[in-house]
Homo-oligomer: A and B are copies of this chain.
Amino acid sequence: MAKQIGILGASGYTGAELVRLLATHPEMEIAALTADRKAGLDMGVVFPHLRHLDLPTLTKIADVDFASLDLVFCALPHATSQQVIRDLPDTLKIVDLSADFRLTDVALYAQWYGHEHYAPELQREAVYGLTEFYREDIAEGRLIAGTGCNAATGQYAIRPLLRAGVIDPGEIIIDMMCGVSGAGRSPKEAMLHSEVSEGIHAYGLPVHRHTSEFDQEFSKDAGREVKVTFTPHLMPANRGILATCHVRGSVEAVHGALASAYADEPFVVVLPMGEAPATRHVRGSNYCHIGVIGDRIAGRVRVISALDNLVKGSSGQALQNANLMLGLPEVMGLEAAPLFP
């Protein structure tokens, strides 16, 4: 029998993306969908692209029968997640897509997010959800903290280099171009079509919150404190993140370390030396493309990674982790090719 799945917060983009992915998953069945302010509505009304699917009606969280579920995806806003998950059965498997359980140190969480952590005891058991780097822990975990979509894009480019020791950990600069859907579906002036289309600008300055994930994970990999300069830009595209990372080392060693780290990975593709990836070539898919480009200045290397923020950056990553947690093949339901053009 298919695994019974709940999605909390199904009225946002990551929730809808989970429904899209699960719709053709052979071993999962959507048993509950919640959206407290839209309870009672059909999902097809909230997201007409899903209207052909036979889905449960949206309910309030309080009306979900959690005992009947095998796993819950939590796609709620930051801070809300902590409060909701705290009250769920403590044996329920959960993949959280918010920022609420990403930082191991709750004091750092308070510092970056501006309020005390609401569920510090749960933080202790949370596993950071970047699949390729925590596969075993995720498979055995109960509460998985999905990564920031920006954070994931940068980590795919940099982590193997720090682990292999082929770059200078003190000299990392990450410029990122991020699609609009990462900002969610809540109406904001800055995300109107009239404000976004046909233009680009840096945002989240001087220090974006996702930097905290870089700090935590890169320092772990390098065995010393690592701080990066991170500058995200809002680009006029709905999906996709491109991270152009500047590192110092040998271009051959950098390419070699990445190629070796991802050689057996189903979703991370290292391009031939000198080729640059494009976000449009991973759109709608769980794939991450990484390119390595040398410079005429010896010792400078550009590592460029591209993924779809709603798939590999959040909902696809979440499903990949859920597959592991439920003992299913890791790639199940995730192998659709990108949509281009």
Report which A residues bind B (CB closer than 8 A). 13, 16, 19-20, 23-24, 47-53, 173, 175, 177, 180-181, 183, 185-189, 191-203, 205-207, 227, 229, 231, 233, 235-240, 242, 244, 246, 269, 271, 274, 276-285, 287, 289, 291, 293-297, 300, 302, 304, 306, 335-341
Q: Which residues of B contact A207 (CB under 8 A)?
A: 295-296
7 A-B pairs within 8 Å (CB atoms) are namely A23-B337, A24-B336, A177-B233, A186-B189, A200-B235, A200-B278, A229-B246
Stoichiometry, as copies per complex, reads: 4
Smallest CB-CB A-B distances: 10 pairs = A199-B280, A201-B278, A187-B187, A194-B341, A49-B338, A49-B281, A49-B340, A193-B196, A198-B237, A175-B175
Q: How far is the CB of A296 from the nearest CB of chain B, in Å?
A: 5
Separation of A224 and B314 alpha carbons in the complex (Å): 47
Residues of B within 8 A of A244 (CB): 175, 202, 231, 233
Residues B177 and A235 in contact, CB atoms below 8 Å apart: yes
CB distance A191 to B188 under 8 Å? no
Query: Are B200 and A340 in touch, CB under 8 angstroms?
Result: no
Q: How far is the CA of A280 from the CA of B193 in the complex (A)?
A: 12
Complex Cα spacing A13 to B227, Å: 41
Q: How far is the CA of A72 from the CA of B256 in the complex (A)?
A: 40
B276 and A202: CB pair below 8 A?
yes
A300 — which chain B residues lie within 8 A by C-beta? 229
Task: Please indicate the chain B residues that have their CB under 8 angstroms from the CB of A185 in the complex.
Answer: 189, 192, 194-195
- Decide: B202 and A281 in contact? CB cutoff 8 A: no
